[in-house]
């Protein structure tokens, strides 16, 4: 239990990070953006919350797999997520997302054709 250590951002050569099922809570810090070689980020089945920082995904250009399912993130999916050219798997099952269709609906449909996407979202107003 606890929060995601900010110091993980110092691991700039890290390629794969799996912190699933650790009962982690709190926010996902933008310090992750320093992990520019990260290809796989698995944070599923935790208690992470808050908005996903947009700046985080703009710097993770090598990201192939992003698993965020079963967390308490809120807000629209960051715009930078749709620009990740290498992303093959996005799992946001059971993640609270709001305003996603209002501002990003068409982008979601175009993006879906490029990779395997698992959506089972709970929409709130």
| Domains parsed from the chain with CATH numbers | 2-119 (3.80.10.10)
123 pLDDT band, cuts 50/70/90, is very low
pTM of the model: 0.77
Question: How far is it, in rounded angstroms, from Cα 34 to Cα 13?
Answer: 9
* 38-75 residues labelled b (16+ CB within 10 A) or e (exposed): bbbbbbbbbebeeebbeebbebbebbbbbbbbbbebbe
Q: What is the pLDDT of residues 7-44, one digit of tens each?
A: 999 999 999 999 999 999 999 888 888 999 999 999 99
Q: What is the pLDDT of residues 57-106, one digit of tens each?
A: 888 999 999 998 888 887 777 888 878 889 888 888 777 654 444 444 44
Residue 72, strand partner residues? 49
Looking at residue 7, its pLDDT comes to 92
Are 56 and 28 in contact by the 8 Å Cβ rule? The answer is: yes
């Amino acid at each position: 239990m606890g929060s995601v250590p900010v110091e993980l951002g110092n691991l700039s050569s890290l390629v794969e990070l799996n912190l699933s099922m650790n009962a982690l809570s709190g926010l996902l810090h933008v310090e992750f953006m320093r992990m520019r070689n990260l290809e796989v980020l698995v944070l599923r089945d935790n208690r992470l919350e808050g908005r996903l920082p947009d700046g985080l995904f703009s710097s993770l250009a090598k990201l192939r797999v992003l698993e965020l399912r079963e967390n308490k993130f809120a807000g629209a999916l960051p715009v930078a997520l749709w620009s990740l050219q290498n992303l093959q798997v996005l799992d946001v099952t059971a993640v609270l997302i709001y305003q996603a269709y209002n501002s990003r609906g068409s982008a979601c449909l175009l993006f879906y054709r490029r990779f395997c996407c698992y959506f089972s979202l709970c929409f709130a107003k």
